[in-house]
């Protein structure tokens, strides 16, 4: 099949989180299965500044209307280091900026125009591609207008919308609807209107042929008022088109046996050399070496849904003992400020780094003993998958997404390889941390659990097979229509 992925991110070219990880691993796995897969994304400044891409400008002239204004989209083509074809949509007015979505915790004020332009240009590119794609697979709010445009223009593509961040919906003032150039009938509850505002993700939910989320349990819980981020009733209405596919871990990028960022590589049979990564991590960050307790780590976005509101109240208790905590990620300025203050209070025990650093992310996975994953919602569980693969045991909230990945440690049954808590709050979180630390003090038992964790298989192969079945069913339906 011929599949065009449409995304505002794509590792290793531009990333802010899990979206880019998916856009690295899934296309590669689909290509292995014999499908033609390409990616289209914006031509950001950070892409332009890379020196390892052989770019060529295509003789394609795309003019995009945003309300009464016309903007040109230039198309550049390249191959990623692993051989995937990428089409970059260039409009420097919108994408030649220091960041992807905003700066200093604030989104760019013209994000509606930026990503409506991107969606329109992506659809125009798909119309001109040879061979013509059969599937347009849009990802998150920044590409969610694509299914709406395909339906409005009666184009022959089947559309799939993947939701990776349900809380981020592309919600903008009503006046931004004019940028879509859609008929007024679309700005209604049956279309892209949501409580008087333009909501791009809602439009995608209404018009995509299929909606994909991370696993069937998560597909059920987001239809509830407590976890539906306000769109639960829309998701219930679209339940017949809602599909849960548990993603995989990118074992090419995240593999301690081959990881170039680790000082010493290791696997299930050589966990003793993991200490080299632990020592290097503490030294690189200026933390005191040889703690009696475990080294904790987090590589995540700083957002309420990631559990920082229940982490911050236990920081002093955690760091009052001889442990180390390393956090890598950026997001809510309030959380960034709180972590910077805590790092000054505990300079030898806590290190916080805001700017994403690929080498440090890998060293954290290689050097930590325990991963903290207190997320209120954790649909895909990539953090848990990566940690387990590196022999890092997670302390995590037992949401229905996480429970697909982490089995709670039960010494009586001699099962499990993580420490789950279920009630969302600081005290249940703290109880799980204490339980993990108690087991950590038993070195023989901890080694048994890390060996159990590192052998877990979360490859993309099964997920790619499910996507293949989904795409094939849509192609069949389009052919029969």
- Cα angle 132, 136, 141 (rounded to 5 degrees) comes to 150
| CATH match for 268-454 among 3.40.50.2000, 3.40.50.980, 3.20.20.70, 3.40.50.1970 | 3.40.50.2000
Q: Per-residue DSSP letters for 248-294?
A: ---TTTS-TTT-TTSSS---GGGGGGHHHHHHHHHHHTTPPSS-SSP
DSSP element (H, E) containing 212: strand 210-213
Q: 2-248+461-480 belongs to which CATH class?
A: alpha beta
Per residue of the chain (481 residues), what is the pLDDT tens digit?
Answer: 999 999 999 866 766 667 778 888 899 899 989 999 999 999 999 888 887 788 999 998 899 999 999 999 999 999 876 677 899 999 999 999 999 999 877 899 999 999 999 999 999 999 999 889 999 999 999 999 999 999 999 999 999 999 988 989 999 999 999 999 999 999 999 999 999 999 999 999 999 999 999 888 889 989 999 889 999 999 999 999 999 998 888 788 889 999 999 999 999 889 999 999 999 999 999 999 988 899 999 999 898 888 999 999 999 999 999 999 999 998 889 999 999 999 999 999 999 999 888 899 999 999 999 999 998 877 667 788 889 999 999 999 987 667 788 999 999 999 999 999 999 999 999 999 999 999 999 999 999 999 999 998 888 888 999 999 999 999 999 888 7
> In angstroms, how far is CA 215 from the centroid of its own chain?
14
As beta bridge partners, residue 370 has: 296, 393
Tens-place pLDDT, residues 377-404: 776 677 888 899 999 999 999 876 677 8
Do the domains 2-248+461-480 and 268-454 sit in the same CATH topology, yes or no?
A: yes
Residue 24 to residue 27: CA distance in whole angstroms: 6
Burial class (CB in 10 A: 0-12, 13-18, 19+), 395: buried
Domain ranges of the chain: 2-248+461-480, 268-454
As beta bridge partners, residue 38 has: 4, 85
> In angstroms, how far is CA 265 from the centroid of its own chain?
26
As beta bridge partners, residue 198 has: 172, 193
């Amino acid at each position: 099949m011929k599949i065009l992925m449409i995304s505002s991110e794509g590792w290793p070219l531009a990333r802010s989180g899990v979206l880019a990880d998916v856009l690295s691993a899934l296309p590669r796995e689909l290509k292995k299965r014999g499908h033609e897969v390409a990616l289209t994304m914006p031509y950001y400044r950070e892409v332009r500044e890379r020196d390892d891409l052989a770019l060529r400008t295509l003789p394609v002239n795309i003019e995009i209307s945003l309300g009464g204004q016309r903007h040109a989209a230039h198309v550049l083509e390249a191959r990623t280091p692993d051989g995937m074809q990428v089409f970059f949509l260039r409009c420097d007015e919108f994408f030649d900026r220091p960041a992807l979505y905003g700066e200093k915790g604030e989104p760019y004020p013209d994000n509606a125009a930026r990503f409506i332009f991107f969606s329109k240009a992506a659809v125009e590119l798909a119309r001109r591609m040879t061979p013509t794609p059969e599937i347009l697979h849009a990802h998150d709010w920044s590409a969610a207008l694509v299914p709406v445009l395909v339906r409005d223009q009666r184009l022959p593509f089947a559309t799939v919308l993947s939701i990776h961040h349900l809380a981020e919906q592309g919600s903008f003032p009503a006046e931004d609807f004019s940028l879509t150039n859609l008929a007024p009938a679309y700005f209604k509850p049956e279309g892209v209107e949501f409580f008087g505002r333009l909501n791009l993700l809602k439009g995608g939910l209404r018009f995509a042929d299929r909606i994909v989320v991370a696993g069937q349990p998560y597909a059920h819980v987001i239809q509830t008022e407590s976890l539906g981020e306000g769109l639960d009733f829309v998701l219930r209405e679209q339940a017949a088109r809602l599909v849960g596919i548990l993603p995989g871990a990118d074992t090419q990028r995240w593999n301690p046996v081959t990881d170039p960022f680790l000082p010493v590589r290791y696997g299930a049979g050589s966990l003793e050399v993991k200490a080299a990564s632990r020592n290097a991590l503490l030294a690189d960050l200026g933390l005191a070496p040889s703690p009696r307790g475990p080294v904790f780590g987090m590589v995540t976005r700083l957002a309420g849904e990631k559990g920082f509101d229940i982490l911050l109240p236990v920081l002093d208790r955690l760091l009052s003992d001889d442990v180390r905590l390393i956090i890598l990620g950026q997001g809510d300025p309030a959380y960034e400020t709180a972590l910077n203050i805590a790092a000054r209070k505990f300079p030898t025990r806590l290190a916080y780094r805001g700017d994403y650093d690929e080498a440090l992310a890998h060293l954290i996975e290689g050097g930590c003993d325990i991963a903290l994953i207190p997320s209120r919602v954790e649909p895909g569980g990539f953090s848990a998958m990566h940690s387990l693969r590196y022999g890092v045991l997670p302390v995590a909230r037992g949401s229905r997404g996480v429970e697909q990945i982490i089995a709670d440690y039960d010494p009586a049954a001699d099962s499990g390889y993580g420490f789950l808590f279920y009630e969302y709050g600081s005290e249940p979180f703290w109880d799980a941390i204490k339980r993990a630390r108690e087991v950590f003090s038993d070195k023989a038992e901890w080694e048994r659990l890390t060996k159990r964790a590192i052998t877990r298989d979360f490859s993309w192969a099964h997920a790619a097979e499910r996507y293949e079945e989904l795409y094939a069913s849509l192609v069949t339906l389009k052919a029969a229509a």
